[in-house]
Amino acid sequence: MALFSHLLSRIWGHADTAAPTAASTAGVPAATPSSDAPAVPATPAPPADVAAPAPPAPAVDVAVVLNGLAATHAETLDWQHSIVDLLKLVDLDSSLTARKELATDLGYTGALDGSAAMNLWLHKEVMKKLADNGGKVPQELLD
């Protein structure tokens, strides 16, 4: 699933620039308690061998990210319908060889010939996988 992982990281990476994150607010000083406020005892840290559960990652709005990329791209790309355009938009290899690899990774059982059927299946499956991985994908792209 190497190609899908790259696709996912490209989209999620652009989502980080669309919304403020803890890293982007790291330089902002924290509010200091007033001298009138009662002191709050520090909470002890959990033992080193107990990992704290990670907070759930916010959903990435796939359409917002990709529409934003499309607005600044030199070509007019139809990422909503074309797997080739989607891959181009996030600057990934959209060749038949790359799409065959992606189709194999995602479980496509038809002929790996670059046909319309393969490309349509691949686009729909990528949208489903984006949603499965925390992406907010428009319903019409999942049906």
Residues 129, 110: Cα–Cα separation, whole Å: 19
Question: Is 29 within the bounds of a domain?
Answer: no
Q: How many Å apart are CA 46 and CA 80, to the nearest integer?
A: 46
Residue 103 included in any domain: yes
Over residues 30-78, the pLDDT tens digits come to 444 444 545 555 555 555 555 555 555 568 999 999 999 999 999 999 9
Token pair listed for 38 = 């009662």
Within a 10 A sphere around the Cβ of 1, how many other Cβ atoms?
A: 13
How far is the C-alpha of 127 from the C-alpha of 133, rounded, in Å? 10
Query: Is residue 94 in some structural domain?
Result: yes
Question: What residues make up the domain containing 127?
Answer: 7-16+58-134
pLDDT recorded at residue 143: 84
Whether 24 is covered by a domain: the verdict is no
Residue 47 falls inside a structural domain: no
Q: Which pair of structure tokens corresponds to residue 122?
A: 């691949």
Is residue 12 a part of any domain in this protein? yes
For 86-115, what is the mean pLDDT? 96
Domain count, the chain: 1
